[in-house]
């Protein structure tokens, strides 16, 4: 795990970060995604985690579980610790391939969500949007809520992955999206940047 200014694993594998406000169901999603009940610890106290947790997946890539943000009962001082930790990680991790941004299907994005979305957009990092707790809605309510959220985010509805950690809905779709994300070229390298010359070209 990593704290601001503290130790973190050597970045020798591609990384995908998971972000979302406290109580959005991030740990439950990770557990369902990895098909392991205790892959990520589910806390009874939202907003408690202040570290980034790294999970090595079959020595192929790492998942980075970022601290949940926006929990109202957490002090301003602790909230002030999270932003530089999260932003510093997203800016400085050399092998970060993208971010999975989680939103609760029952609620419109909060001010904290919008701040995170603006930061990700400014950074230019590839982002997958997963909408959690689909099982909390009645079936007839799901599509209208997804349409509302997609309009709010300025996305097509098929760019959002509906997810339920309880039923497993969306698990395979999200796993497939992660594979596609890992296959993308490094987003930090400008597309128009010329390749380095080979030895024969250099001579």
pLDDT by position in tens, the chain (length 203): 444 444 566 778 999 999 999 889 999 999 999 987 766 555 444 444 568 889 999 999 999 999 888 765 554 555 556 678 888 899 988 899 999 999 999 999 998 899 899 999 999 999 999 999 999 999 999 999 999 999 999 999 999 999 999 999 999 999 999 999 999 888 887 655 555 555 555 54
Q: What is the pLDDT of residue 99?
A: 97
In a domain, residue 7? The reply is no
In a domain, residue 126? The reply is yes
In a domain, residue 114? The reply is yes
CA 111, 117, 120 angle in degrees (round to 5)? 145
Separation of alpha carbons 87 and 189, rounded Å:
19
Which residues lie closer than 8 Å to 7 by C-beta, 6 or more apart? none
With b for 16 or more beta-carbon neighbours within 10 A and e for fewer, the 36-49 pattern comes to eeebbeeeeebbeb
Extract long-range pairs of 171-175: CB within 8 Å, 24+ residues apart: 171/32, 171/33, 174/29, 174/33, 174/100, 174/128, 174/130, 175/33
In a domain, residue 162? The reply is yes
Separation of alpha carbons 97 and 91, rounded Å:
12
Separation of alpha carbons 23 and 70, rounded Å:
9
In a domain, residue 5? The reply is no
Q: Which domain holds residue 79?
A: 15-183
In a domain, residue 10? The reply is no
Q: What is the pLDDT of residue 30?
A: 94
Q: If phi over 0 gives left and psi between -120 and 50 gives alpha, with beta otherwise, what is residue 161?
A: beta
Report CA-CA distances (Å) from 167 to 28, 32, 155, 170: 11, 9, 25, 9
In a domain, residue 188? The reply is no
Q: What is the pLDDT of residue 140?
A: 96
Across the chain, the runs of DSSP E, i.e. the strands, are 15-19, 53-57, 61-65, 96-104, 127-132, 160-162
Q: What is the pLDDT of residue 11?
A: 78
- Tell how far CA 69 is from the center of its chain: 12
Separation of alpha carbons 149 and 119, rounded Å:
19
Total domains, the chain: 1
CATH number at residue 21: 3.40.50.300
Q: What is the pLDDT of residue 123?
A: 93
Q: What is the pLDDT of residue 201?
A: 52
């Amino acid at each position: 795990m990593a704290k601001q200014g503290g130790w973190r694993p050597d970045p020798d594998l591609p990384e995908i970060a998971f972000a979302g406000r406290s109580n959005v169901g991030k740990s439950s999603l990770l557990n369902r995604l990895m098909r392991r009940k205790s892959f990520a610890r589910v806390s009874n106290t939202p907003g408690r985690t202040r570290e980034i947790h790294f999970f090595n997946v079959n020595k192929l890539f790492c998942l980075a579980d970022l601290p949940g943000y926006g929990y109202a009962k957490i002090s301003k001082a602790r909230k002030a610790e999270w932003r530089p930790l999260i932003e510093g990680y997203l800016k400085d991790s050399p092998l970060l391939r993208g971010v999975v941004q989680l939103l609760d299907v029952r609620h419109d994005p909060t001010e904290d969500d919008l701040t995170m979305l603006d930061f990700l957009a400014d950074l230019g990092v590839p982002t997958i949007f997963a909408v959690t707790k689909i099982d909390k809605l009645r079936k007839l309510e799901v599509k209208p809520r997804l349409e509302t959220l997609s309009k709010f985010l300025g996305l097509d509805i098929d760019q959002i992955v509906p997810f339920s950690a309880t039923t497993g809905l969306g698990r395979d779709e999200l796993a497939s999206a992660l594979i596609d994300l890992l296959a993308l070229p490094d987003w930090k390298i400008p597309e128009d940047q010329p390749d380095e010359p080979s030895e024969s070209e250099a001579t």
